[in-house]
Amino acid sequence: MSLSVAFSLIGDQALYAILPVHFETLGLTSLQVGVLLSINRWVRLLTNHAPERMVATYGASGLLVVALGVGAMTTGACALFPTFLALLVARAFWGCCWSFIRQIGVMTCIDVTPHDRLARVMGVFNGVFRTGSILGCLGGALLFDAVGFRMTLGLFAGVSLLGIPCALLGRGHHGRHMRARMPRVSADATGSVTSLMVRGFVAGCAGPGLVASTLGYLLRERLGEGGQLLGTAVSVTAFSGFVLACRHVINTIGAGPLGVLIDRFGRLRGERVACVCAAVSLACAGVLPGVLFPVLGVLVFFTASTAMLAVLPAEAGGRGGKAYARYATALDLGAATGPLVGWTMIQTLDMPSASLLLASVLYCVALGVSVRRTSGPGQGRSSLTSVESVRA
């Protein structure tokens, strides 16, 4: 299942490495880049609850195959028709496909995992499927320099189709259709779900929204079209793709071990440490001059974000399909808002690092929400205990 999701992401992630650097070459404006990198998330705000409802009627396997096939077609459409309107339509369809791919993938993993191992399993799931992001970011940047936009996206559209046999194999081993095995969120857990949604919004807005969508522009402002880095000549496109790929390398390598540590020492404690590290590292990346130290700060942030994305899906998925859909919608709302806000700030403030500083502030907000949700009487338990109480 993780591999099928990985193949589906290749074309989507290539655009994050290419568009922020070469949007003028493709005849796009900076505002149009923000729209293209966020429209798929806006669409998911409307489609995230559809998989939960449709799986019971049509079965997860068939829906997943259709979503993977249409998702590959959207990458092919980007290659054939690289105009703003065509890219906009393709990205919108991709957003709908990702709602099904993500929900079915995550809940398949949740459905076969003991609740005391959710963080580590979600860490492994995130780590494996992010290999597709590595290939998309790094491979997309390198191929663009070699063969251009159309050929790069065309190749990735074909590779994305490999997700279909992987999905059929994964669902075959699962041995049954998705079913609502997990408990529904009770009315007395509303506050916790609201807190979860706020933290999900921050994780989406700061990571894939503000940081990933504007990092290429920041590096171009620091490096120009190319330059010397540690004595080696590099193009800004390749360097941007490399840094973005590091985000997913960290996720792939670190998500599993971080999940094990979080399960051992508590999800609540792990989340708070991640929030502090993310806020501090982003602030440093935003204010330090040059290229090397800001990049190191961003890499620390990627590690903290990996820990957050092991905690939050585990908590949401442990509460059932509806709770996960609410969390996913909040995550997507943040990820959809981030590029628009980030690129608007770039265009109006002429300050490339402003998006990093805003992301740092948002993680301070997430830390405050996390502290507040356990500050009342009887709320000092870990999130694992909270999940057990809902199950009871």
Structural domains present in the chain: 2-391 (1.20.1250.20)
Cα distances (angstroms) measured from residue 189 to each of 118, 286, 325, 368: 19, 37, 15, 19
Q: Can you state the angle between helices 190-204 and 292-318, rounded to 10 degrees?
A: 150
Residues in the chain: 392
Q: Specify the pLDDT at position 94.
A: 94
Q: How many CB atoms lie within 10 A of CB 330?
A: 26
Separation of alpha carbons 249 and 128, rounded Å: 10
Q: How many CB atoms lie within 10 A of CB 265?
A: 12
Q: Which residue has the higher pLDDT, 272 or 134?
A: 272
Q: Specify the pLDDT at position 293.
A: 83
Per-residue pLDDT reduced to its tens digit, 51-64:
888 887 888 888 99
Q: What is the rounded average pLDDT of the residues 2-7?
A: 92
Q: Specify the pLDDT at position 335.
A: 82
Which range in 118-122, 226-230, 277-281 is most confidently predicted, on average pLDDT? Answer: 277-281
Which range in 39-48, 103-112, 218-227 is most confidently predicted, on average pLDDT? Answer: 39-48
How crowded is the C-beta side of 219, counted as CA atoms within 13 Å?
Answer: 31
Q: What is the rounded average pLDDT of the residues 5-31?
A: 86
Is residue 150's pLDDT more than 80? yes
Separation of alpha carbons 91 and 54, rounded Å: 22
Q: Specify the pLDDT at position 234.
A: 61
Q: Please say whether the beta carbons of 231 and 321 come within 8 A.
A: no
Say what percent of the chain tops pLDDT 70: 86
Lowest mean pLDDT among 124-133, 231-240, 247-256, 381-390: 381-390
Q: Which of 216, 221, 226 is nearest to 351 (CA)?
A: 221
Tell me what the pLDDT averaged over the chain comes to.
80
Is residue 19's pLDDT more than 80? yes
Is residue 178's pLDDT more than 50? no
Is residue 101's pLDDT more than 80? yes
Q: Specify the pLDDT at position 77.
A: 92
Is residue 173's pLDDT more than 90? no
Please provide the distance, in angstroms rounded to a whole number, between the alpha carbons at the two ends of the chain: 29
Tokens found for residue 175 = 């041995």
Q: Cβ neighbours of residue 383 under 8 Å, at least 6 residues apart?
A: 266, 267, 268, 271, 311, 315
User: Could you tell me the pLDDT band of residue 231, with boundaries at 50, 70 and 90?
Assistant: low
**Residue type at 242 in one-letter notation:** F
Is residue 376's pLDDT more than 50? no
Q: What is the rounded average pLDDT of the residues 327-348?
A: 85
